[in-house]
Amino acid sequence: MRRHAPEVLAFVMAGGEGTRLHPLTADRCKPSVPFNGKHRIVDFVLSNLVNSEIYSVYLLVQYKSQALIEHVRDAWSMAHCIPRHFVTVVPPQMRNGKEWFQGTADAVAQNLHLIESHRPDLVVVFGADHVYRMDVRQMIDAHLARGADVSIATLPVPAQQSTAFGVVETDDDLWVRGFQEKPAPAQAHRMPGQGDRVLASMGNYVFSTDVLLRVLRRAVDAGERDFGKDILPRLARSHRVLAYDFATNRIPGVGAHEEPAYWRDVGTIDAYYDAHFDTVGAQARFRMNNPQWPIYASPDASESAQIVGGDIRASVLGSGCLVDGASLDHALLRRAVRVEPDARIADSIVMDRTVIGRGARITRAIIDQDNRIPPGEVIGGDPVRDRQRFHVSDSGIVVVPRRYFAPLAAG
């Protein structure tokens, strides 16, 4: 345990609609989209906070939040006997009007009373849409050591991706001198000596509490709604804003084969698909089962996976799965998936409680929950036919919506 650690209150922005992840977000918000064998995307930020000994967490939700609320209830209930140990879901309170959250800054501004009641030394505002490990206390230590008012977690990205990020301009000491929200590549500020890269905001911020309260009250009066679009560009001109270098963050238990400072925005079907397969194999880029920095998930009472027979290569099987004489090659099966004889799944993700019928062929696909794929069905490999029935990503990933095929019977 760290001594004399500052009191920290966390806000997690979990209201994302996730339109670019459709149809996976047809019935759920982006942070509640399943990931890997038993997790949801929101588990990464919550695990990072808890592992960093930050236990007072408000999760700000908005769109299609029921699945997320249920997941937090089941997986993230913390000790009730310790008042400052909680993960609490907060929908729009509409205390100052009949509006939902109108932006990231507005979401926190609508909950100023929570900050005032806790009186923390620092407030961290983190996104809920990313796959990564981070010791938040290391960022906090840098914030305090440098005497910053605001710190922004940053990492380099290719300049052509600038339209997806806030772009940070710094001096040689990493003090922020400018902030552009999702600029066109031609206008984005380049990193010195790296004309093909920009320094991107990860959407994770540390604020000194008194500074945050002042800027949010001013933002309310000025009608400003968003940190990246409105507040950070102004603060870069008037306050001590530090760019925290995420590449310096060190996590115990990370293997030599893993990608240093792994971080992925899984906001598109292709990015979501690719991140899954970064977790697969003996030399995975991102190993999910790091016992020194666990990514927590909801409790699981399912039986162990069973393999009756088949040919299985570089695949992940969640609890309760049954594979009977099938072929799996780079397949990721979540909980309670059944694969019948002679079926073949390659380079695909199959979500909970789905049955892959006898002789079916699934290639480069994401099958959402509660589907019963008919015997002999072919999904993937025929772009024309696939696009007639399903959403197909730019790189050719086929997405089968939840319950598209006859769902399993209850129980």
Q: Which residues of 146-157 are buried (b: 16+ CB within 10 A; e: fewer)?
A: eebbbbbbbbbb
The reply to whether 181 sits in an annotated binding site is yes
Q: pLDDT value at position 410?
A: 44
Give the three-class secondary structure for 10.
strand
> Mind listing the pLDDT tens digit for each residue in 28-44?
999 999 999 899 999 99
Q: How far apart are CA 338 and CA 331, in angstroms?
A: 13
CA dihedral sign, ordered 20, 26, 29, 30: negative
Q: Is the CB of residue 115 less than 8 Å from the CB of residue 214? A: no
Q: Is the CB of residue 406 less than 8 Å from the CB of residue 389? A: no
The reply to whether 318 sits in an annotated binding site is no
The reply to whether 201 sits in an annotated binding site is yes
User: Any bridge partners for residue 155, and if so which?
Assistant: 200
Can you give the residue ranges of every domain in the chain?
A: 8-248, 306-400
Average of per-residue pLDDT across 166-190:
95
Task: Tell whether the model's pLDDT for residue 2 goes beyond 50.
Answer: no
Q: Choose the CATH number for 306-400 among 1.20.120.80, 3.40.50.970, 2.60.40.4070, 2.160.10.10.
A: 2.160.10.10
Going by C-alpha positions, the residue among 261, 292, 290 that lies closest to residue 52 is: 292
Q: How far apart are CA 182 and CA 161, in angstroms?
A: 9
Q: pLDDT value at position 411?
A: 39
Q: pLDDT value at position 96?
A: 57
Same fold, 8-248 and 306-400: no
Q: What's domain 8-248's architecture?
A: Alpha-Beta Complex (3.90)
E-strand stretches of 322-371 = 322-333, 338-339, 344-350, 355-356, 361-363, 365-367
Q: How far apart are CA 114 and CA 123, in angstroms?
A: 11
What's the Rg (C-alpha) of the chain?
22
Task: Tell whether the model's pLDDT for residue 266 goes beyond 60.
Answer: yes
Global pTM? 0.94
Give the three-class secondary structure for 191.
strand
Q: pLDDT value at position 127?
A: 95
Q: Give burial (CB, 10 Å; 0-12/13-18/19+) of 222.
A: exposed
User: What integer best gives the mean pLDDT of the chain?
Assistant: 92
> Mind listing the pLDDT tens digit for each residue in 183-218?
999 999 999 888 899 999 999 999 999 999 999 999
Average of per-residue pLDDT across 86-115:
80
The reply to whether 37 sits in an annotated binding site is no
